[in-house]
Amino acid sequence: MVNSAAMIGGGAAALAVAILVAVLAMQGMSVEPATEPVEPVAEQVETTQEAESRHSQLSLVEIFEMSEAGVVRITVQKNETISEPGSVGSGIVFSKMGHIVTNAHVVENANKTEVTFLDGKSYKAEIVGTDMHTDLAVVRVDADPDLLIPLQIGDSGTLRVGEGVAAIGNPFGLSGSMTSGIVSQLDRRLPVEETGFSIPDVIQTDAAINPGNSGGPLLNMRGEVIGVNTAITTSTGQFAGVGFAIPSQTVAKIVPALIADGRYDHPWIGVSGTDISPALADALNLTDTRGFLIIAVVDDSPASKAGLIGSNQTIQHDGQDYTVGGDIIIAVDDIEIREISDILLHLQRSKAVGDEMRLQLLRDGEIVETTLVLEKRPDRFD
């Protein structure tokens, strides 16, 4: 499951990309699943279509009334001991074929899964596929077709910070609850304890997300699903104004593969490293802070086969030790790399296992170009 202590620990850690990814930590805080026990971005020019779309916003009442039937309650028994409490999450009706989208951590280790619709009818569900790397899962029910009312999937790529959003789900088991807020920030990275990787491109919101909301929709003001609620940052275990949702662009890419194959194979490079901070740039005598410094290259990985070089020495600068000497990735497929997020987003949105990826590297002060072939990411990296 998406868990707390391993997600955000007590100090800054080197980023391990998925390329392996770990996350810079926030002292005393944790990121927890919302499951109930039973450089500045360039200014964007808005198109006419986008402007018209934004003017067609609905009221919260209208959004709730058009969406509530497409949100279900998911009850999971995770062991064979009936006396043990199960857990409650939420789900989104995805298709008329009975497919329900939820979080992987909601149905993880489930022995029995049940879906309850708005009218109170419940159906046994089978798990079709799960992807811990994005915390997404699909279950299927053989339900009355009249109950299967799919929600419309929107485009999270058009979101802007400050836009209104609404969350519907089952917080604390309270079915059909709605909260509202705004998009607080975009392109967050959410670590997953079970995999050692992080989920890129995550939406941050202040719409209240509590235990039981996991797997439910985050909706824009047109009633479209632009995210799947998955976790909160908290020091108390309860909502503190910082919630996270998997973006609909990720859902649209991963879910069809889960329905078809039961899994999604993520591409990876096979390096770990760190962004170029101002202090590190100064230590390396670099003129700017763009790029990602490779600290280590995984044996027999795409990076290893392509000859990428990890750091091999330690220097001291202003009283701080730095591991250096590795390649600095400054561009992939002609996309300038300012930080690791740029690589992660490119892999998530545009690449697949078996694709070639061109890299531009800074090596010993010289620009070097190479090409590697992306391979399947391992289930876990420690």
CA 150, CA 98: separation in Å to the nearest integer? 9
SS3 75: strand
Q: Taking a C-beta distance cutoff of 8 angstroms, is the pair 194, 380 a contact? A: yes
Closest CA to 112 of 187, 167, 38, 48: 38
SS3 104: helix
At CA 351, angle to CA 350 and CA 356, rounded to 5?
130
Q: With the CA atoms of 65, 69, 70 and 71 taken in that order, what torsion angle do they form, in degrees rounded to the nearest 10? A: 90
Beta bridge partners of 76: 87, 113
Q: Taking a C-beta distance cutoff of 8 angstroms, is the pair 65, 74 a contact? A: no
Q: Which of 131, 135, 327, 342 is catalytic?
A: 135
CA 298, CA 242: separation in Å to the nearest integer? 34
Q: Is-catalytic flag, 214?
A: yes
Q: Is-catalytic flag, 201?
A: no
Q: Which of 4, 67, 87, 105 is catalytic?
A: 105
* Residue recorded with tokens 């670590």: 191
* Residue recorded with tokens 């930080």: 339
Q: Which of 67, 90, 156, 214 is catalytic?
A: 214
At CA 104, angle to CA 180 and CA 172, rounded to 5?
45
Q: With the CA atoms of 170, 171, 176 and 182 taken in that order, what torsion angle do they form, in degrees rounded to the nearest 10? A: -120
CA 223, CA 60: separation in Å to the nearest integer? 9
Closest CA to 170 of 118, 226, 112: 118
Closest CA to 54 of 66, 45, 42, 46: 46
Q: Is-catalytic flag, 135?
A: yes
Question: For residue 74, how far is the Cα from the chain centroid?
Answer: 21
CA 270, CA 201: separation in Å to the nearest integer? 20
Residues contacting 276, CB < 8 A, separation 6+: 284, 286, 288, 289, 290, 291, 292, 293, 328
Residues serving a catalytic function are: 105, 135, 214
